[in-house]
Structure 1
Amino acid sequence: MTILDFKEIAQSNIGGEEQDKFELFARDFFKYLGYKIVDDPDRGQDGGKDILIEEERVGILGRTSTIRWLVSCKHFAHSKKSRAVGSDDELDILVRVKRKKCNGFIGFYSTIPSSGLTQKLNELKETENMDFETYDYAKIEYLLLDTEKGREIASRYFEQSYNRWVEQGKLAESMLQISRKVYKYISNNKDIIIAQLQQLVASKSILYQYMMMYQTNKSGPNPEVLSNLIEELTIEIDKLHKIFSSKHIYLDNPERDDIAKTIDMISTKVEEEIKKIIEFIRTI
């Protein structure tokens, strides 16, 4: 499931001031990756827009070389079923690369390259020694969301879907904090119980004596109270998990907040019952 909705960027063939937005996005994207922008977006032979960028490479001996790339931008996210970029969509690749005196070709796509186009590019690499790279929607999204600077660019070009992702991230963080609190409590108290049993129940006879005492005299904390509380806690945690796994997740969720408060309340009661049992065992 994708995070950024490329349909937020206007189509390139509708006219108006927004029609070049995808190419401008590509320019900002490659500048963010560290490429030098040689020529801004320019309408290419195939009707799409090309950008010229340069990459500085440092060799093993410290020598630098400059690689010039022709970037072809194709924004098909608005097309029917967001179709792939085919070999017929990229005309005369080698001619365009040589005309601009480039060393390689980069396809920058809001969908994906077709298998036919990928095969065509591989053939050019083998026969003409032409380097190539392709950036599809998933690779672009990953590189943007991986850093703070990339996320700043994403927030400008994908405002709605990026903000949804941020809000969901806040909710996920809230869920994580609640889960950590619950499981930390359970884990900590499990360790307490084990530690106390190791100290107080050096032999099984002491524990047996307590159980026999409770069964005969009903003295000491009733273990059913703790058992019922743990069952209630399990039910509430299951409710919370169902809310988090549902498709309808909202940042403000009164039901979720009520369940979280109930979990805190039950957890406090569980802790109190454990203390009662531990204190009673110490008196045996």
Structure 2
Amino acid sequence: MADILSGKEVAKNIKENIKKEVVELNNVGISPTLGILRVGQNSDDIAYEKSILKNCDSVGIVAKVYELEESISTEGLLEIIEKLNQDMDIHGILIFRPLPKHIDEEQINNTISSLKDVDCMNPLNLEKVFEGDMDGFAPCTPKAAMKIMEFYDIPLEGAKVSVVNRSMVVGKPLSMMLLGKNATVTICHSRTKDLKKVTKSSDIVVTALGRAKYFDEGYFNENSVIIDVGISLDKGGNISGDVDFDNVNTKVKSITPVPGGVGSVTTSILLGHVVVACKHLK
């Protein structure tokens, strides 16, 4: 049976540290505050908003929701972002994505203040990751994957790591983070030839395809460490990762569950970014 790399334990550890930092800031009269911009009534966004609000409350971070009409123009949204950029009582800004198709996301990304960009939308923050500077606001999901490996003492120095994702949201920034730890990284995707051969010969495999139970035991070896970032619904309508957990977890060294894995840590990373932004702006 594999070691289960629970994200809940990692998130709990991160949140305890955040609580202490929030108390320290409160003691000098500062209340770390997150501004949340939600455009429209998308049910997934509303569910995520409730989760964020609950998590903010659990660590003492103030959250202010700005609910906007789905018909808002790019110019209208930019105006609101600029107001939040200038508002010194707002320390972090979170914009739910994807935005409606008529919104120019590139303009939005370039307008949000890099100092308040807790979800790493501004290309300036992403550029820091590719320059090897991990002190800024790196994308939360890959940073969560790294935190899990750090928490469970997964050796990265010299390790062969396959990252099955090439997006700017997960795969590419995660690869830069892994390279910063001296891992040897192979970026893969759905069209990679002999994908099974590549992943099976790796020490660590990070999956982020978004295809429920796509990876069976044939993709791994008995010493594989699996970080499953994917989340989608299987044929039975149940939440599932990319890996067929029930069949794989008895045949590998360690694995993150879904749910309860990387996703559990991602929100905690975001909250940590709010505190960092607050300290930089105070």
TM-score above 0.5, yes or no: no
TM-score by length of 1: 0.28
Structure with more helix by fraction: 1
Task: Name the TM-score, length of structure 2 as normaliser.
Answer: 0.28
Larger RCO, structures 1/2 (Cα 8 Å, 6+ apart): 2
